Amino acid sequence: MLWLRTIKLGVKSLWLHPMRSLLTVLGIFIGVASVIWLLAISEGISKAAQEQIASLGADTIMIRSVKPPSEKLNPQGVTPYGLTRAEFERLQTTIPTVKSAIPIREIRRQFQYKSRNLDGRLVGCTPEYMEITSLVVDRGHFITDAENFRRDTNCVLAAKVAERLFPYEDPIGKRVSIPEHSDSYTVVGVLKHRNASAAIGGSLEAQDFSSDIYIPIKTLQQRIGDTIMTRAGGFMTGEVIELNQITLRVRSIGEVKQTASVIESAMSSHSALEDVAVVVPLELLEQARTTRLMFMVFMGLVAAISLLVGGIGIMNIMLATVTERTREIGIRRALGARRDDIVRQFLVETSVLSVIGGITGILAGLFCRPAIVLLRELVEHYYPETMASLPEVVRNVTPTIVPESIPIAFGISLLVGIVFGLYPAIRAAQMNPIEALRHE
């Protein structure tokens, strides 16, 4: 009953100065909302990164051919580098923890159908490539083992390639040519759209699947070969690459790191030329999770500064209130109010401010996702060029509310109100009643 009366008195006192109380609540409101928003945005960014890595497969190890530094290339001749088919066979047959291996060869080429042209990527692969890269067939079928074994001149088109080369026709059964090789391939399948994979740190470059044409890897080896010649500065230079990537699948996740160590030892012969990189998605995933925790702690500390500022605002307002209500405090003390009663009254007032600010801050925080999506749509509609120039993570980030952030933010806001309201309350309680009554 005593607490209820004190709360009513506190609310009445705050209501006498609505604008001042509103501005004090605003500081807590911004602090709580910023905690929820910043943690939600950091969680959204982290979740997107982890999904990108997880899509590579936690049980996979990727070995990629990397172009050596320019000083290690032959400036006027042919430089062989990267992975070889012999290494693929050796890794597949000699490492017992590897259950499957997928060879991949990629070449930039121009594709043509009638008068329509498109620059894209010709990918030589096996049927397992579709599963490992999460590709989905829309029409027809993907490359089969039989087609690879027979070295058939069949191909599968990415969605964008089909749209550009066959805007008004069904591509199935048509032949797409590669003018550079005077070669053509029969379309046997069309894939659904597949979003590009973002670059992950310095370990794995971004992969854009929208302009790909897939053919059997043995067909590519037979009809195109391993040598790529280019003319630069009046000289013909060339590169010999047998495989761009080998993706290995390990029997169990627990054997990934051990297998990766064996593979790195097996690839030690490439250390001088620096033409091979081993990427372990499991290690990247663990690093991303650690980075997520660090990022969220950092963002939480940044948001906590807003709450600190809000707490300082509460203390400032309550100190001014104590000065203004000196005579009221003296009258209450003269009528028998104890110091505890005065402390209780002022703490209730600061707690009411903190609770109101915390609740409204939580409600604003819950609108983080729709607000970000709406803002992104407005910018994309009115300023498309500006939106296109932003990093992909900004264009596609979807905030994810961290459930723990809501009680934490509210608890901190209440704690801030009590802590920063304690000094003004104690100062008010320690006033001399006689001196307080004399105050004008």
pLDDT at 17: 67
The answer to whether residues 338 and 369 touch, using CB atoms and an 8 Å cutoff, is no
- Give me the helices (H) in 57-143, please: 85-94, 128-132
Backbone angles phi, psi at 304, to 5 degrees: -65, -25
Q: List, for residues 144-185, the tens digit of each pLDDT value.
A: 999 999 999 999 999 999 999 999 899 999 999 998 888 899
Q: List, for residues 219-266, the tens digit of each pLDDT value.
A: 999 988 887 766 655 566 677 888 989 888 888 877 878 888 888 888
pLDDT at 279: 81
Q: What is each CA distance from 386 to 175, 195, 378, 380, 382, in whole angstroms? A: 39, 21, 12, 8, 9
Query: What is the DSSP code string of 300-313?
Result: HHHHHHHHHHHHHH
- 48 burial via Cβ count (<10 Å: 0-12, 13-18, 19+): middle
Three-state SS string across 234-259, please? CEEEEEECCECEEEEEECCHHHHHHH
Residue recorded with tokens 């490492």: 95
Determine the Cα–Cα distance for residues 296 and 402; give it in Å rounded to an integer: 10
Highest mean pLDDT among 214-218, 230-234, 419-423: 214-218
Q: List, for residues 395-415, the tens digit of each pLDDT value.
A: 677 788 888 888 888 887 888
Mean pLDDT of the region 330-347: 73
Determine the Cα–Cα distance for residues 123 and 366; give it in Å rounded to an integer: 45
Nearest to 248 by CA among 240, 260, 238, 237: 260
Mean pLDDT of the region 337-349: 75
42 beta partners = none
Residue recorded with tokens 């104690």: 426
Determine the Cα–Cα distance for residues 307 and 413; give it in Å rounded to an integer: 7
pLDDT at 55: 61
Q: List, for residues 50-75, the tens digit of each pLDDT value.
A: 666 666 666 788 888 888 877 776 66
pTM above 0.75, yes or no: no
Length of the chain: 440
Determine the Cα–Cα distance for residues 400 and 38; give it in Å rounded to an integer: 10
The answer to whether residues 62 and 221 touch, using CB atoms and an 8 Å cutoff, is no
The pLDDT mean for the chain works out to 79
Backbone angles phi, psi at 336, to 5 degrees: 115, 0
The answer to whether residues 311 and 424 touch, using CB atoms and an 8 Å cutoff, is no
